[in-house]
Structure 1
């Protein structure tokens, strides 16, 4: 009975979009009337300033701007050279406009980008809202994506194989199309806006080595961070311009970053460890669509062995253990917990990875609840609630709160449990969207509690 309940931990996986990109297209892999409490929304951003050396940030900047996700090299730096206009088309759900306004305000204030939304006419960036089915027909592994030199989904489909939509031949940016789904949760839509608009404006690459960025296919960070805003501010600095080569940009970065991020000049540079394609491909096989369970397990083991062989001590090593735990918990939940504990061990070394740790805690706390240890679950969950809130992650926050409610019930505090459970539902509506998805998450987590077994 306990083993069967523990297997439900698999349902608590909080992966973001599946971002296994097709070729060189950067990707990020309707709310109905509800009887649930009103949806809650985040209002105040909490970006943290990057703590790494400017030397490391310069290396990251070059890797983000002069490589595509496929590994293909770009010859020229590109950005918009005029004020940027943004227009929304299609059938946007109610949550899109307020989240987009908040994002544009942040880009103006934190990144210094001259960007504004227009209601009609031609725009530099058109955000078209289409169905998930249309997106998957175009790019099966993507939740949303951005394409140069198009302004509509029809234009993208017509010209997708023409040079105009090839990032590698671009010399400057004038017109781009972003395609996001309307039939998804408000949080997923917001996450798409953050990553795809950031890539429309700046970096086209994602780097697994970044612990504090949306430009990372682990999808841990879902809103633009302080590091991301620094990268975008540097992208639009007057020292740079479209058409510069990597060498020309590299020559400008030390003084540019010293001006924008003086604290980074006092930090010692850390060794830059590249992420090999073999590890990336193993992760994509393990977590992406299409692979059978055996292939996923094999790929996860390959990624974990690679991380160990390379001697990684960072969040990538932790992610390898976390991924292996997720995949093996169906067949061996006890061994999976060992993998999660290993992940937490590596994450404990870097304060910048607290959000990563919060994801792992959804698994370890669920296991503690399933085995009747509510006190242990509470010790794990409580420090992570503020982490999830500051990261503006409604899905993660509501999951932690629902877990906390079950842990409170286990420890004989039913009134507190009811209050926390009710409070979680507004965040769940933002994070998971539809009533049925919220209620399914509630049932899934309630089923972990030994006290609820046998109640139907």
Structure 2
């Protein structure tokens, strides 16, 4: 935990070192701005309540200008002009999109130049679906408050670019509680912070977790770069598959059997799914075996793999197997509050039920899937496309959208 804390706080995703710990000193206010979706206020209020209760941060929502953190919804085209690969992002030293455009090349928006945090802004596209808005609020607001890094080796955290966890976990809340503990303060360097961490975590987490500590080697930049390439929306299919192959090779060479190895094999299976079904199946089964071995990855992580295993069974006409795999994964998807994944699993199960000539059950499951998808996916046209894509996996080849 202490090594994770130091890596999250004193290093950025780019690899740049952060010279001192920074946080907001005193009460923190958060304001919504721009074309705010109607569901954003509810999800923000729930998040702030958790931050107060679980992380001990004095944080409230405000409707007045001058809030410590502004969450502004901006046109997607405008955001992508400045950050083409980001779904959303947070930056220090500004309170509006206009401020950011004027200051982004100055030291005001450089996290490594701060000695204390006084202002920050989170920017989210104003056409984003409900679940993605919620996920952006969780990760970007948390990074605005504290950790600046993402680590592929963390199995139970939103501070991991695998995007398995969309909402702040118990681990994340403990990291934030430690950052805002009275033993620490803005301006402290790594050595001073490291000296205080053993006693600090002994106080905050006296049990030290439910089992023996899990040692994880740091993730080399080559592996992180390979995974980044495998999930990059700007890379071609061939480039993404090559990156996934490099990632699994690095994981095998290092002897990893943890979450990052599981994710590498999951990506390899997902990228091979449409063109190389048998290698895809083997990669997905390997990812599932890795995830199943740890209680930290046996839930939501396996549910993501199960979605693809169920879809594969559907393509083979194995309707009963597809239904069973999807149904078994649905509770984990619900527990992780991933409505998009839950909806997709339900869509696969509905198609499997239809193949088994159980039309009434299939229609009921399809309707429930669409209801969850309205939060998880949002856009009605995108929901219809997802139904159509899953329906097209069936040997009967129907589009599924109605």
TM range (shorter): over 0.9
- Of 117, 126, 140 in structure 1, the residue corresponding to residue 61 of structure 2 is 117
State the Cα deviation string for residues 123-177 of structure 1 (Å, max 9, x = none). 1001111022111111111011111110011111111111111111110101111
Q: Secondary structure at the match of 1:447?
A: helix
Distance 2:391 2:256 in 1: 37
> TM-score, length-normalised on structure 1?
0.85
- Which segment is superposed worse, 286-295 or 271-280? 286-295
- Of 244, 265, 272 in structure 2, the residue corresponding to residue 321 of structure 1 is 265
Deviation of the 1:267 alpha carbon? 4.2
> TM-score, length-normalised on structure 2?
0.96
Matched, 1:406 2:351: yes
Residue in structure 2 matched with residue 303 of structure 1 by the alignment:
247
- Of 364, 378, 384 in structure 2, the residue corresponding to residue 419 of structure 1 is 364
Unmatched tracts of structure 1, length 5 or more: 1-56
Number of aligned positions between the proteins: 400
Residue in structure 2 matched with residue 77 of structure 1 by the alignment:
21
Larger relative contact order (CA 8 Å, sep ≥ 6)? 1
Residue in structure 1 matched with residue 75 of structure 2 by the alignment:
131
Contact 1:368 1:376 in 2 (8 A): yes
Matched, 1:264 2:208: yes
Q: 1:157 to 1:383 in 2, by over 3 A?
A: same
Residue in structure 1 matched with residue 135 of structure 2 by the alignment:
191
Distance 2:67 2:400 in 1: 56
Residue in structure 1 matched with residue 293 of structure 2 by the alignment:
349
Distance 1:265 1:443 in 2: 44
- Of 325, 329, 333 in structure 2, the residue corresponding to residue 384 of structure 1 is 329
Deviation of the 1:445 alpha carbon? 1.2
Unmatched tracts of structure 2, length 5 or more: none
Matches within 5 A, 1:422-441: 422-441=367-386
Contact 1:258 1:265 in 2 (8 A): no
Deviation of the 1:428 alpha carbon? 0.4
Matched, 1:291 2:235: yes
State the Cα deviation string for residues 62-81 of structure 1 (Å, max 9, x = none). 10000000111111001011
State the Cα deviation string for residues 15-44 of structure 1 (Å, max 9, x = none). xxxxxxxxxxxxxxxxxxxxxxxxxxxxxx
Residue in structure 1 matched with residue 181 of structure 2 by the alignment:
237
- Of 86, 94, 99 in structure 1, the residue corresponding to residue 43 of structure 2 is 99
Matched, 1:255 2:193: no
Distance 1:330 1:409 in 2: 23
Distance 1:309 1:175 in 2: 44
Contact 1:85 1:117 in 2 (8 A): yes
- Over 4 Å off, 4+ runs: 452-456
Distance 1:417 1:268 in 2: 45
Distance 2:172 2:266 in 1: 24
Q: Secondary structure at the match of 1:451?
A: coil
- Which segment is superposed worse, 266-275 or 62-71? 266-275
Q: Secondary structure at the match of 1:268?
A: coil
Matched, 1:171 2:78: no
Deviation of the 1:374 alpha carbon? 1.4
